[in-house]
């Protein structure tokens, strides 16, 4: 495969990563706490690896007095959106590098 084809494939994969990450964040954020995806998110966030990677949950109450959970907006952003942006941006960076390199070598 040429650098040009790999670059475009990486851009396509980056678009899929962005769509999947933001779609999953939207789905879990709108689903009630009884939904299977929300229960899985709570379990992953409360596990030892989840506490190690994402840190402990902030136990301060929100502005309305309710305690924070793993399904709060800022926690979901940290859990889904940040890794999505990092992986997608890395793929875009490599793709742009390959496309530019192929363009320069022509």
Rg for the chain, CA atoms, rounded: 18
Is the separation of the CB atoms in 100 and 8 below 8 Å?
A: no
Sign of CA dihedral 50, 56, 62, 67: positive
pLDDT for residue 85 is more than 60: yes
pTM, two decimals, is: 0.73
pLDDT digits (tens, 9 = 90+) for 36-57: 777 777 777 778 887 787 777 6
Sign of CA dihedral 30, 34, 35, 41: positive
């Amino acid at each position: 495969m040429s650098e040009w084809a790999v670059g475009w494939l990486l851009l396509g994969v980056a678009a899929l990563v962005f769509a999947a990450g933001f779609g999953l964040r939207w789905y879990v954020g709108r689903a009630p706490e009884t939904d299977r995806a929300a229960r899985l998110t709570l379990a992953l966030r409360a596990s030892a690896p989840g506490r190690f990677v994402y840190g402990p949950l902030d136990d301060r109450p929100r502005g309305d007095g309710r305690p924070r959970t793993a399904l709060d907006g800022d926690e979901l952003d940290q859990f889904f959106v940040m890794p999505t942006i990092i992986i997608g941006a890395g793929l875009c960076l490599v793709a742009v590098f390959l496309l530019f390199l192929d363009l320069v070598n022509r």
